[in-house]
Chain A
Amino acid sequence: MLCPSAEDLVRYVSGEAGADDAARVEVHLVGCPTCAETVAALRETWAALDAWQLDASGVDLTERVLMAVEAEEAAPRRHRWRWPALTRLAASVAIAAGLGIGAGRLVSQSAAPDRETAMADGVRDEIVHTLTSAYAATDSATGLALRFEPASRKEGR
């Protein structure tokens, strides 16, 4: 009869094996002194390990944990850096410009068809135009006047 694996014997001794598997091991042990010896040694080791007992029943962390939660909730939240609206707009445009120019380069470097190169050039030109043109409008929701002038134009005054 094929011997159970070492893993199966550990499962058997630790009580982890299912009823059917445990019954199969027990039948095998009757006729296999080698496995019987292994199981006896495992049982001895398993029992010896019981000598290290801990008793944490006197410790109750509930109040401590809840107080820590309350302290964390009461603590001032980390200061979140608030970017001025115009800086956010500028950052968005810059990122978009970077992506557009990067995409344009990528397309032009990869021997793409002329139509795609033209599209990338168009995107890049549009972004460059946005960044270099004066802009004025009225926000329909707030009625506020929106106005943008490129830095170079201001400097030229």
Chain B
Amino acid sequence: MPDSEPNNPHVPNDASLMARLRDGDHAALGELVRRHQRRVLDIAVRTLRDHTLAEDIAQEAFLRVWRSAADYVPSARFTTWLYRIVVNLCLDARRKRRALLAETPDQPDPQQYTAEAAMHHADRAAVIRTALDGLPERQRVAVLLHKYSGLSMREIAGTTGWTESAVESLLVRAYATLRQKLEGLDS
């Protein structure tokens, strides 16, 4: 997925949009949303598997951007900061959902959706989702950001706050596990 920040020098970059937002220009926020919402939603939907919740999380992430505009210092890429907000909100939402599901055992936990059930539905995407669900949380987040959001290992480190060597290690282990789980699945 390509970066959504334009290279055209006549189009304002993210940092200048943040500067305008700091001065109260709501149109700048609108432009940031239009520019980055697709990636933000992609991360949220893949992490949460719930479109409605993902849209709420995406909205909250952009609201936090607006609320923090006055304190924003463009020391890192805007997207690194934005994705960090999104990932943290998603992980928090997952934890809350897990806690809620633990209190109401009658509700099926989507994370417990078995590989067998997915195979039964002959849905390759479901098999992949199931395989990803079986990964430990940090490995899963690393793969989602690496494979589907197109972030480099360094960018993942910046987004999650983990070290780059930790990200490397997480990805190597995750892809090895996925290799076993997806063996035989036609690509």
Contacts and interface: CB of A to CB of B under 8 A. Distances in A.
Majority SS of interface residues in chain A? helix
B153 A61 contact: no
Contacts of B63: 65, 68-69, 72
Majority SS of interface residues in chain B? helix
B22 interface: no
28 contacts: A7-B168, A10-B168, A45-B182, A48-B128, A48-B186, A49-B128, A49-B147, A49-B148, A51-B187, A52-B125, A52-B128, A52-B148, A54-B42, A56-B37, A56-B41, A56-B42, A56-B45, A57-B38, A60-B37, A61-B55, A61-B58, A61-B62, A65-B29, A65-B33, A65-B62, A66-B26, A69-B29, A70-B26
B179 interface: yes
A86 interface: no
Contacts of B26: 66, 69-70
B153 A11 contact: yes
B153 A54 contact: no
The 8 lowest CB-CB distance pairs between A and B, nearest first, are: A47-B187, A7-B168, A56-B41, A51-B124, A48-B187, A52-B128, A52-B125, A6-B172
Interface string B20-50: 0000001001100110011001100110000
A14 interface: yes
Contacts of B124: 48, 51-52
A59 B147 CA distance: 22
Contacts of A44: 179, 182, 187
A3 to B, nearest CB: 14
B138 interface: no
Contacts of A70: 26
Interface of A: 6-7, 10-11, 14, 16, 41-42, 44-54, 56-57, 59-62, 64-66, 68-70, 72
B178 interface: yes
A72 B59 CA distance: 13
Contacts of B187: 44, 47-48, 50-51
Contacts of B29: 65-66, 69
Contacts of A62: 30, 33-34, 37
B37 A68 contact: no
B171 interface: yes
Contacts of A57: 38
Contacts of A56: 37-38, 41-42, 45
B146 interface: yes
